[in-house]
Amino acid sequence: MTRAALFDIDGTLVDSNHLHVVAWWEALRQGGHHVPTHAVHRAIGLPGEQLLDHLLDGDRDRAQDDRLGAAHDTLYGTFFERLQPFDRAADLLRALANDGWRIVLVTSAKDRELAALRRAIDADDAVTATATADDVERGKPAPDPIEHALSLVGTGSDRAVFVGDSVWDMKAARRAGVVRAGVLCGGIPRADLTGAGADAVYDDPADLLAHLSSSPFASVPAAPEEPVG
């Protein structure tokens, strides 16, 4: 009867999407690819290889992909010490944890990047587990990351809510069969999130926290207490 609160990180809990846009845009430029920033923004949330598939010609020289990814990682790494969480992000995680929810961070970030994001949020005391793209064969928008996150806390899709900021988040969560809450702080329009499957949309973590009692989290009841004696 565990309840799982699943959260994307980039653009959902940490104000990092536009930093990723700049890092990918520059990495692509260095590799000889001229991709407009608005197109890069729409691809944020996909794992690196899928992001490149989405942005570049399918018959490109894939031998260059590792160099592009490494360039992005180096450029983005220069922002690690300046990453900022969205207002009340940590408070939202702690409020849910105190109400009995198991918090799982579901992200495409890895290693040093994930560590930097967790430092920025500063709420490890509320987090039960983390599911990364490295843990599964397919990243978002496939349901695999969500399903893996559920397995980490031993709960089913009917006892979970996923919060994310991208179309890819909403598609993955819909395919996994979990309730979906979108946030606008990642820069994706409300209509795009609802069109991809969001059951409700909020401005940011602070807005979701302020409306927690009427949010999708309220649709998953707590387990009944065991009778005494």
pLDDT in tens, the chain (229 residues): 899 999 999 999 999 999 999 999 999 999 999 999 999 999 999 988 899 999 998 777 888 999 999 999 999 999 999 999 999 999 999 999 999 999 999 998 888 899 999 999 999 999 999 998 788 888 899 999 999 999 999 999 999 999 999 999 999 999 999 999 999 999 999 999 999 999 999 999 999 999 999 999 999 988 765 445 5
- DSSP string of the chain? --EEEEE--BTTTBS-HHHHHHHHHHHHHHTT----HHHHHHHBTB-HHHHHHHHS-TTS-GGGHHHHHHHHHHHHHTTGGG--BPTTHHHHHHHHHHTTEEEEEEES--HHHHHHHHHHH--GGGEEEEEEGGGSSS-TTSSHHHHHHHHHHT--GGGEEEEESSHHHHHHHHHHT-EEEEEGGGS--HHHHHHTT-SEEESSHHHHHHTGGGSGGGGSPPPPPPPP-
CATH topology of domain 3-15+84-219: Rossmann fold (3.40.50)
The pLDDT assigned to 224 comes to 63
pTM, to two decimals:
0.94
The pLDDT assigned to 191 comes to 98
| Domain map (residue ranges) of the chain | 3-15+84-219, 17-78
